[in-house]
Amino acid sequence: MRMDDEEESRNVDDRRASTGKSGGGMPSMQTMMILWPIVKPLLKSKFGMVLIAAGVGAYMMGYNPLALIGMGGASSQPVNKVEDENRKVFISKVLKSTEDVWTETLAEYGMHYTKPTMVLYRGATRSGCGSAQSQMGPFYCPADKKVYLDLGFFDELANRHSSPGDFAQAYVLAHEIGHHIQDLEGTLDKVQRAKQSWGGQAAKSNALQVKVELQADCYAGAWAHHAQKKFKMLEPGDIEEALHAASSIGDDTLQKQAGQRVRPDGFTHGSSQQRVSWFKRGFVSGDLRQCNTFK
């Protein structure tokens, strides 16, 4: 992927210097659920109570307690500062390309593109949607219009999911930017209202969420289509990297890797085949109208 001559986005909130910090305050429900299996047996001894107190104190000071016990996720591993900085520069250039592409492209559909902020962090930080943990992977928060990304996720993408390569990384960000476009369109708000109206029907809500994720994949493909026309950035093998990444994080593939049987009613992002298909549709057409997964 040729990005050497491209500019970096200015819409980057770099929090990497605050390694493992989560911003203090009350922990999210997700954090409490992660910690409970560890905390429960510690309650039975004085030493365990001391460890709990230390963890609570660390959290209130703004540090991720999971890092204290070696469970801080990708960012608990030693950081190669040179490689990490190179990744920051690269992904900031990718963000700039999404800004240029979507500002121009959405205008053709009568839409104004407002640029989101990309938050780079390690371990944990705070978001408008609650605590951001590296274990959660990259995500878009509609409450504050920001994409949250622990750069250590790219190690997991390469090692755990066997999807190395710079364009695989670009695909991850482009997918999250796809959610920002859905936010601008009002799609995310409509989906949230529909889920609330169903009163906790998990299978029905999951099926709707799959449509959201597949549309974001299609938008990522459309970005690649227009970015190639505008910047001539693609090199041989780049699209294959994106397709392999999309396939490797399909719900059916992840369920099999976890030793589970494939349960479509438990899908939240779509099967490997679906994710590949919708990215390809966006890339071939470049037309957002071809990305309507809700039909």
Is residue 209 packed enough to be buried (19+ CB in 10 Å), middle (13-18) or exposed (0-12)?
A: middle
Residue with tokens 């910047």: 231
d(CA 177, CA 118): 9
Confidence check: pLDDT of 34 > 60? no
d(CA 39, CA 45): 11
Model confidence pLDDT, tens digit, residues 164-199: 999 999 999 999 999 999 999 999 999 999 999 987
Are 288 and 109 in contact by the 8 Å Cβ rule? The answer is yes
d(CA 2, CA 188): 33
Give pLDDT, residue 281.
98
Give pLDDT, residue 48.
66
Identify residue 71 by its one-letter amino acid code. Answer: M
d(CA 10, CA 92): 8
Position with higher pLDDT, 212 vs 27: 212
Are 168 and 157 in contact by the 8 Å Cβ rule? The answer is yes
If we measure between CA atoms, which residue out of 168, 165, 188, 167 comes closest to residue 178?
188
d(CA 3, CA 7): 8
Model confidence pLDDT, tens digit, residues 232-270: 999 999 999 999 999 999 999 999 988 999 999 889 999
Model confidence pLDDT, tens digit, residues 120-130: 999 999 999 99
Position with higher pLDDT, 277 vs 200: 277
Mean pLDDT value across residues 265-283 = 96
Give pLDDT, residue 21.
45
Are 22 and 126 in contact by the 8 Å Cβ rule? The answer is yes
Mean pLDDT value across residues 278-291 = 98
